[in-house]
Amino acid sequence: MKRFGKMSAVLALTFCMSVLGACANGGNNQTGAASEGSATKAGTTITLGFSQVGAESGWRSANTKSIQDSAKEAGYNLKFSDAQQKQENQIKAIRSFIQQKVDVIAFSPVVESGWDTVLKEAKDAGIPVVLTDRAVDSKDTSLYVTFLGSDFVEEGRKAGKWLSEQYKDTKEDVNIVELQGTTGSAPANDRMAGFAEVIAANPHLKVIASQTGDFTRAKGKEVMQAFLKANKDIDVLYAHNDDMALGAIQAIEAAGLKPGQDIKIISVDAVKDGMQAASEGKINFIVECNPMLGPQLMKIVKDVVDGKSVEPRIVTEETTFTSEQAKEALPNRAY
Ligand code: GYE
């Protein structure tokens, strides 16, 4: 269990009120719950500042909707900010949340590095921070309460395991191209690492090109075009998300090749458009990554405000889909 600033702020305030009597809110940057007692007390509304990565993919849109809907349902005052895939925008948003003295800050860090200063500012202000979806590489884990999201290394391993199984008897080299997510982001780093770790067991499985497509369709298409131009014999595409795979499919078809047949495709996310392409046989295997983090996040926020203990790492449960399984699951897919 991690300790966090809010608890110490609550304790400090309690001490302040009981021992010194009239020091009110002086020196305490927190409002709402901590300064008025419990956030669950009738009449108090939790204010949550959320800094989103952007709107780069179908996954992200589903994630944003999940957070907005569940904040509404929980009756929180949500301050939502879209960073358009830029770390500087997220830092600005977090600083503005600190200034506005929100009760809790949650954010999905676009990249892993470079957060210590702003997280320290939040901690000093006594505002607890919850990481959702993506991790940070800060050594000081007291800078945030918990990290809610997927195990991206495991997702990469699942992709690698499926591929290894497909080619377990091969006597020839299998040429793989990889479309990475946003450079420096946790899902790009980890999906690459998990995949590489598993396929290393078979020396025939060769990544011949690997480049970022920034998690977008447009970039996925553009980079795949370049891959096709530079490499005559591509057997497999591993895309770190569905959107890049969908963009790449356009490039593959434009080159007169059949996605899913001439080039086997593996992707991650399992959003509706990806599942549709999988059910048509254009994507052969999808590793699911669950974007519906809203309800869990709202519960964590309430627990934090109530001073309850929160697990330092909360991993979402996920599955995988072959084309056949995608066909079956598609009609009931919510996002
Ligand atoms: O896989 C991708 C999105 O961080 C898990 O970001 C998320 C990733 C997701 O843009 O589609």
CA 98/CA 230 separation, integer angstroms:
49
The mean of the pLDDT values for the chain is 90
CA 114/CA 330 separation, integer angstroms:
39
Residues 48-96 pLDDT 10s? 999 999 999 999 999 999 999 999 999 999 999 999 999 999 999 999 9
Which CATH superfamily groups domain 152-289?
Response regulator (3.40.50.2300)
The whole-number average pLDDT for the span 25-53 is: 58
> Could you tell me which of 187, 248, 186, 189 has the C-alpha nearest to residue 213?
248
Q: Does the model's pTM come out above 0.95?
A: no
Residues 234-246 pLDDT 10s? 999 999 999 999 9
Q: What percent of the chain has pLDDT over 90?
A: 87
Closest atom of ligand 1 to CA, residue 243: 11
300: CB partners within 8 A, 6+ apart: 130, 145, 146, 148, 310, 314
> Could you tell me which of 103, 165, 134 has the C-alpha nearest to residue 115?
134
The reply to whether 39-150+291-317 and 152-289 are identical in fold is yes
**What is the domain partition of the chain in residue ranges?**
39-150+291-317, 152-289
- For the domain made up of 39-150+291-317, the CATH class stated in words is alpha beta
Q: Which of 26-35, 74-83, 148-157, 205-214 has the lowest mean pLDDT?
A: 26-35
Residues within a 6 A CB radius of ligand 1: 56-57, 59-60, 133-134, 187, 215, 241, 243, 268-269, 289
Closest atom of ligand 1 to CA, residue 271: 11
Identify the pLDDT of residue 43.
58
**How much distance in Å is there from the Cα of 109 to the middle of ligand 1?**
11
76: CB partners within 8 A, 6+ apart: 45, 46, 47, 48, 298, 301
**How much distance in Å is there from the Cα of 45 to the middle of ligand 1?**
30
